[in-house]
Amino acid sequence: QKEVEQNSGPLSVPEGAIASLNCTYSDRGSQSFFWYRQYSGKSPELIMSIYSNGDKEDGRFTAQLNKASQYVSLLIRDSQPSDSATYLCAVTWGSARQLTFGSGTQLTVLP
């Protein structure tokens, strides 16, 4: 069974703080890992992809992958109210091309 688990939240952080979003997945045959941001009433927007163990940084966002622990995280530095959204973790497995999503973590950044 291929599952992706996220804390549903809501997660609240003050403006300027670091927001930490976590995701675990159930199968070691996983290949690729993605973080999407989804504003209320909108479609998912890709913000980060990561394919190998370690950290990947892009602006205020850092994705961290640990395949041995089956864990991927997203850190948002200097959080802004505009970062308030639901963050979706997605994984692909083996030869499958489709994304399997977690149910998302709702983040609120308080001004």
Partner 1 sequence: GAGVSQTPSNKVTEKGKYVELRCDPISGHTALYWYRQSLGQGPEFLIYFQGTGAADDSGLPNDRFFAVRPEGSVSTLKIQRTERGDSAVYLCASSLRGGEEYEQYFGPGTRLTVT
- Which spans of this chain sit near partner 1 (rule: CB under 8 A)? 4, 31-32, 34, 36, 42-46, 49, 51, 88, 90, 92, 95-104
Q: Are 37 and 55 in contact (CB under 8 A)?
A: no
In the bound state with partner 1, the residue whose beta carbon lies nearer, of 96 and 110, is 96
- Least CB distance to partner 1 at residue 97 (A): 5
- Least CB distance to partner 1 at residue 111 (A): 26
Q: Are 88 and 104 in contact (CB under 8 A)?
A: yes
- Residue 22: CB atoms within 10 A of its CB come to 16
